[in-house]
Structure 1
Amino acid sequence: MEIRTATMADLPRVAAVEAACFPAAEAATEAEFAARLAVYPNHFWLLEQDGELISFINGMVSDEPDLRDEMYADASLHNEAGAWQMIFGVNTMPQYRRQGMAARVMERVIADAKAQGRKGCVLTCKDRLVHYYETFGFRSEGVSDSTHGGVVWYAMRLTF
């Protein structure tokens, strides 16, 4: 298995994995991924095995301490020198879940964010995943202001 950062050539596979992992109301569109890949491809971590995309994590970098819904759709808000690595999505193909695939990618994201001198990582998740992210050192900050996809999200922060 290999973890690497994405290129625009990965766009169709990234969009397909996202569609398999999230309901349409929550999933990023191919156009949104294209905009993100044009601005911050080095903040897309892909886990592949024999050329198959198994899992990926993506998100912009910002000096803003909190993940705002506008960040999902506006790649221009990325600030490469920013303090916080935002995490927009942790995606693993259903047949590979509960095998540690997402954890491998998350550990790499955390290590890279530390190496880049960030203050930490920020994400939002559903209630059932709060405990999972706590295993990486994230702490819940309670219900987020996010209305993304019309569901309740919890703000999670990992501070280095």
Structure 2
Amino acid sequence: MSTPVFRRATPVDTDRCFDIEITSYEGDEAATREKIATRINLYPEGFLCMTLDDEIIGFINAGCAWEVVMSDEEFKELVGHDPAAPNAVIMSVVVHPDFQGKGYASLLMREFIAQMKSMGKKTIHLMCKDRHIDLYAHFGYRYIKPSSSDHGGMAWHEMMMTL
């Protein structure tokens, strides 16, 4: 079995990352190709790819904010993003369905947390569905509140980790 390799996304990764995004997320919750491209172009330091045999199998992307407002839809296009801000805000945590259930998401999250710590970030914020609350709690995120966001027409919950 190959060992996963982690690296920053580059513009040539846009199509593969978009394919994973739309294959893995339900309905309207997937980011558009344009949003994926914007996130890679504006903040590659916050766009971590996991590869196996040189193929991207999953990724986490984030932006940074001084004040976190999880329901801010514009932030998904990095409007208001400041790379110097201390709070990372995750927008996607995704592993292609062909590679799910094999522990790759855990490896990806642990690497992302380590990178955010090394960059001097103070917190990591995310939104998740009911079924993922326990998973993120396992990594050390704590439950904040139900989110006012109805992104993709779904119910979300805000969680945060202090680094």
Task: Tell me if both proteins adopt one fold, taking TM over 0.5 as the criterion.
Answer: yes
Partner of 2:160, secondary structure, is: strand
Counterpart amino acid of residue 73 in structure 2:
D
Deviation at 1:65, TM superposition (A): 2.8
Partner of 2:79, secondary structure, is: helix
State how 1:1-160 maps to structure 2 within 5 Å.
Answer: 1-67=4-70, 68-72=72-76, 74-160=77-163
| CA RMSD after TM alignment | 1.1
User: Runs in 1 of length 4+ with deviation above 4 angstroms?
Assistant: none
Unaligned 5+ residue runs, structure 1?
A: none
Q: How big is each residue's C-alpha offset from its partner over 1:20-67, in whole Å with a ceiling of 9 and x where there is no partner?
A: 111231000101111111200121111101122111100111111332
Partner of 1:118, secondary structure, is: coil
Q: Give the Cα separation in 2 of the matches to 1:66 and 1:107.
A: 24
Deviation at 1:76, TM superposition (A): 3.3
The answer to whether the 8 Å contact 1:26/1:149 transfers is yes
Identity across the alignment (%): 33
Counterpart amino acid of residue 133 in structure 1:
Y
Partner of 1:25, secondary structure, is: helix
Q: Give the Cα separation in 2 of the matches to 1:65 and 1:71.
A: 10
Q: How big is each residue's C-alpha offset from its partner over 1:74-105, in whole Å with a ceiling of 9 and x where there is no partner?
A: 32321000111111111111121111111111
Partner of 2:149, secondary structure, is: coil
Give the total of aligned pairs.
159
The answer to whether the 8 Å contact 1:47/1:105 transfers is yes
Unaligned 5+ residue runs, structure 2?
A: none
TM-score by length of 1: 0.95
TM-score by length of 2: 0.93
